[in-house]
Amino acid sequence: MAETLSSQEALKLWHQALLSSVRAEGPDLSARQMALFLQVYLAPPPHTVRGLAATLQISKPAVVRALDTLGRLDFTRRRRDQSDKRNVLIQRTVKGSVFLSEFADWVVTASDTL
């Protein structure tokens, strides 16, 4: 059974992972962008703006702004739903997968220091 982290340990873990990200000169994602990014990669598709807004309990314009940034970074891609042209599907990209894999490695490394 996994050991429960204290609040201080959890913050230290997040801090160390963020420091690794900053030192790697990767993009500076806001907490909202990262939360949305992780939702797209960790939850099974399909993902839509409406669905992401509902799941994350944030406004659709906030989702669109985050997706604009993630799209410019080529971490996500938008594609019109062929079965319902009114919907836009949010897709994962290889570049986004690589970034999150590296970030996950930083979290694992940080957890080793606890």
Q: Where are the chain's structural domains?
A: 9-112
Q: Regarding predicted confidence, which is higher, 57 or 21?
A: 57
What is the DSSP annotation of 55-77?
Answer: HHT--HHHHHHHHHHHHHTTSEE
Is residue 1's pLDDT more than 50?
no
Residue type at position 98: V
H-state helical runs in the chain: 7-23, 31-42, 49-56, 60-72, 94-112
Per-residue confidence band for 2, with pLDDT thresholds at 50, 70 and 90: low
* Whole-number pLDDT of residue 95: 97
- What is the value of pTM for the model shown? 0.88
* Whole-number pLDDT of residue 32: 96
Fold of 9-112: Arc Repressor Mutant, subunit A (1.10.10)
User: For residue range 45-64, what is the model confidence (pLDDT) as tens digits?
Assistant: 999 999 999 999 999 999 99
With contact defined as beta carbons under 8 Å apart, do 75 and 94 qualify? no
Output b/e per residue, 48-71; b: 16+ Cβ within 10 A: bbebbbeeeebeeebbebbbebbe
User: For residue range 79-96, what is the model confidence (pLDDT) as tens digits?
Assistant: 998 888 888 999 999 999
What's the rounded Cα separation, in Å, for the pair 35 and 29?
9
Burial of 99 (0-12, 13-18, 19+ CB in 10 A): buried
